[in-house]
């Protein structure tokens, strides 16, 4: 469905440049109303041509409407979508960044973890109370997938080589890079998890959180935050 172009222009004007700073956006299903094929890159035009009738077309249209609305220009950015929602991480720097959005659904998380996660992570999932296991799984999964994008790794490699663990209230991690890095996981809705990762930053990103449409500032629960300087022996996961 084509959105009203005047509505989209008005929304962009409302940004006043503020949201172009380091920001994490959540695009809602109603963003599809603003999708305009004319805003697509040549690559995305080819993708949508291959998705006529594809059940994931709604996800694609929500994500590209959000991308057009944010008007990222030359800023570093990463995009993710699922279940008619989209996440956009935007930084006006030369950082390498990655974002992942997942909508939780019932699944055999232990089976998936045993196939692709580090053994320490599997043990943590096995030990977690059943009520907390799904949240822990999606926290780990989104962290790994966001680093897959930031580091340009194949997903299976990221699932196995990016390792995260919690000691008390503090998160730690091991990521295959010689650079400093940081990441955070938010839970905008009970079923939605969004992770943002950055390579080259030793402190947690000062993220502005936004939702659209309509454009509004957000205050989502932060469920994990982790950062590390260049690797050292202290970065090894505990035995």
**How far lies 173's CA from each of 6, 206, 225, in Å?**
45, 20, 10
139, 224 contact by CB (below 8 A): yes
Q: What is the pLDDT of residue 216?
A: 97
Confidence band for 8, pLDDT divided at 50, 70 and 90: very low
Q: How do 222-228 and 181-189 pair as beta strands?
A: antiparallel
Q: How do 181-189 and 192-199 pair as beta strands?
A: antiparallel
The lowest-confidence range among 52-61, 162-171, 173-182 is 52-61
pLDDT higher for 102 or 73? Answer: 102
pTM: 0.87
Query: What domains, with CATH codes, occur in the chain?
Result: 5-235 (3.90.470.20)
How many other C-beta atoms are found inside a 10 Å radius of the C-beta of residue 103? 15
121, 165 contact by CB (below 8 A): yes
d(CA 196, CA 231): 20
Mean pLDDT over each residue of the chain, to the nearest integer: 86
d(CA 143, CA 224): 9
pLDDT higher for 95 or 174? Answer: 174
pLDDT higher for 12 or 34? Answer: 34
* Average pLDDT score over residue span 203-208: 82
Q: What is the pLDDT of residue 219?
A: 97
* Average pLDDT score over residue span 106-123: 96
Confidence band for 235, pLDDT divided at 50, 70 and 90: very low
Q: Residue 71 pLDDT > 70, yes or no?
A: yes
**How far lies 79's CA from each of 25, 30, 113, 150, 205, in Å?**
10, 17, 24, 11, 17
Q: Residue 180 pLDDT > 50, yes or no?
A: yes
* Average pLDDT score over residue span 21-25: 89
Q: What is the pLDDT of residue 203?
A: 74
* Average pLDDT score over residue span 60-74: 93
Confidence band for 73, pLDDT divided at 50, 70 and 90: confident
pLDDT higher for 46 or 234? Answer: 46
Q: Residue 2 pLDDT > 70, yes or no?
A: no
Q: What is the pLDDT of residue 53?
A: 61
Q: What is the pLDDT of residue 153?
A: 97
Q: Residue 183 pLDDT > 60, yes or no?
A: yes
Token pair 């050292």 is found at 232
Q: Residue 201 pLDDT > 90, yes or no?
A: no
Per-residue pLDDT reduced to its tens digit, 146-174? 999 999 999 999 999 999 999 988 999 99
pLDDT higher for 183 or 8? Answer: 183
143, 135 contact by CB (below 8 A): no
């Amino acid at each position: 469905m084509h959105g009203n172009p005047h509505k989209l222009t008005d929304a962009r004007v409302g940004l006043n440049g503020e949201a172009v700073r380091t920001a994490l956006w959540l695009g809602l299903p109603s963003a599809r109303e603003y999708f305009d094929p004319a805003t697509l890159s040549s690559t995305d035009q080819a993708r949508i041509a291959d998705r006529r009738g594809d059940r994931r077309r709604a996800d694609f249209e929500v994500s590209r409407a959000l991308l057009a609305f944010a008007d990222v220009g030359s800023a570093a950015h990463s995009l993710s979508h699922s279940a008619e929602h989209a996440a956009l991480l935007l930084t006006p720097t030369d950082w390498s960044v990655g974002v992942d959005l997942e909508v939780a659904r019932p699944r055999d998380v232990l089976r998936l973890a045993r196939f692709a996660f580090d053994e320490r992570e599997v043990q943590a999932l096995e030990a977690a109370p059943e009520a907390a296991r799904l949240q822990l799984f999606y926290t780990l999964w989104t962290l790994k997938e966001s680093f897959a994008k930031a580091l340009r790794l194949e997903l299976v490699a990221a699932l196995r080589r990016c390792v995260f663990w919690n000691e008390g209230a503090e998160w730690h991690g091991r990521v295959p890079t010689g650079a400093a890095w940081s990441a955070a996981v938010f839970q905008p809705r009970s079923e939605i998890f969004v992770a943002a990762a950055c390579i080259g930053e030793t402190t947690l990103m000062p993220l502005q959180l936004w939702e659209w449409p309509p454009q509004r500032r957000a205050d989502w629960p932060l469920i994990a935050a982790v950062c590390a300087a260049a690797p050292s022996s202290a970065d090894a996961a505990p035995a």
